[in-house]
Amino acid sequence: MSKKCIICNVEAVYVIKDTSDYYCRECAEEHFGDLAMLVKVEDDVSKLKEIVGARLAPQERAEHEEEHEDYEQSN
């Protein structure tokens, strides 16, 4: 579910920290000049990063090559 800019009602990409004020990029730049107090709206992206981060965690895989010797059964 995407948020809408509270000014022009297009899809918002920024939200003011600790508020529910959403802005599109244009309005955010127009009203704030710098975007320091704005955080990006990226619900899915942040989740994706977590997944990617987890995947990037070092995984040591020891290779166990078990050799099965064939015992010759003599009868």
Q: For residue 53, what is the enclosing H or E element?
A: helix 43-56
Which residues in the 12-51 window bind Zn ion by CB under 5 A? Answer: 24, 27
- Considering beta carbons, is residue 8 or 48 the nearer one to Zn ion? 8
CB 45 within 8 A of CB 71: no
Task: For residues 48 and 53, give the distance between their C-alpha atoms in angstroms, rounded to a whole number.
Answer: 8
Residue 4 binds to Zn ion (criterion: CB under 5 A) = no
Nearest distance in Å: CB 6, Zn ion = 8
Binding interface with Zn ion (CB under 5 A): 5, 7-8, 24, 27
